[in-house]
């Protein structure tokens, strides 16, 4: 709470640029055609940190440059001083790629789910009944795929879409789920809940 109060006055210099703040995570977004460069904006952040007696962790600070795939005219800007420039970064648990694809994120969560399916087999071997295993499935696997799904679900390629659905089919074949789950169904459900909550007035919403 104290950190949230401390960073409440941190703003971008330009109205064209944006600072997103969530808990202890801060993200600076600078557009290609802006009146204040990312270098100036980052210097502004460092000055703000110095004034507020906060330390920036350069090792945890990463830069990513998003670009259209197969762009005809694209020049990679120079990286920020002492900041690593990557083509894939994790933001609040989601892996974003510079080409706006979600291949890395989907492969990452599929590898996690594969490890958790192995755990399910161990639990079943130890005698855990299917009704309890199904609770574990929704807690460890379905919830993992559903995390922040509206943010990345629409960018999944058809190939990766089929891989996720194939994993759901295995869960149903093993008896770990009673329904045939699909990524499309989960995405539709997540989008519905997201937009329903956005339309519902809340005292915690600020413009």
Domain ranges of the chain: 2-86, 103-199
- Residue 143 — very low, low, confident or very high, per pLDDT cuts 50/70/90? very high
Measured distance CA(27)–CA(19) in Å, rounded? 6
pLDDT given at position 206: 46
Q: Among residues 174, 184, 185, which one has the least CA distance to residue 134?
A: 174
Name the helix (H) or strand (E) containing 18: strand 18-22
> What six digits make up the tokens of 5?
């109060």
State pTM to two decimals: 0.82
Q: What's the average model confidence in pLDDT over 134-151?
A: 95
Angle at 167 between CA 160 and CA 163, to 5 degrees: 15
| pLDDT at 202 exceeding the cut of 80 | no
Mean of the per-residue pLDDT values for the chain?
89
Q: What's the average model confidence in pLDDT over 87-103?
A: 93
Q: How far is CA 118 from CA 12, 27, 34, 125, in A?
A: 46, 36, 49, 11
Measured distance CA(12)–CA(34) in Å, rounded? 12
| pLDDT at 149 exceeding the cut of 60 | yes
């Amino acid at each position: 709470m104290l950190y949230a109060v401390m960073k409440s006055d941190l703003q971008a210099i330009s109205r064209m640029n944006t600072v997103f703040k969530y808990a202890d995570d801060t993200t600076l977004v600078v557009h290609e055609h802006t009146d204040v460069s990312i270098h100036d904006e980052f210097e502004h952040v460092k000055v703000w940190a110095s004034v507020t007696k906060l330390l920036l962790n350069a090792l945890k600070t990463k830069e990513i440059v998003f670009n259209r795939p197969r762009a005809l005219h694209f020049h990679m800007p120079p990286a920020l001083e002492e900041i690593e420039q990557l083509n894939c970064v994790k933001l609040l648990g989601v892996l974003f790629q510079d080409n706006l694809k979600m291949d890395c994120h989907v492969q990452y969560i599929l590898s996690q789910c594969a490890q958790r399916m192995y755990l399910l087999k161990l639990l079943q071997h130890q005698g855990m009944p299917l009704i309890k295993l199904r609770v574990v499935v929704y807690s460890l696997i379905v919830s993992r795929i559903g995390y922040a799904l509206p943010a990345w679900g629409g960018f999944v390629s058809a190939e990766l879409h089929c891989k996720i659905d194939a994993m759901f089919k295995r869960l149903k074949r093993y008896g770990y789920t009673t329904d045939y789950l699909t990524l499309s169904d989960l995405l539709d459900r997540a989008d519905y809940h997201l937009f329903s909550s956005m339309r519902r007035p809340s005292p915690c919403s600020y413009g």
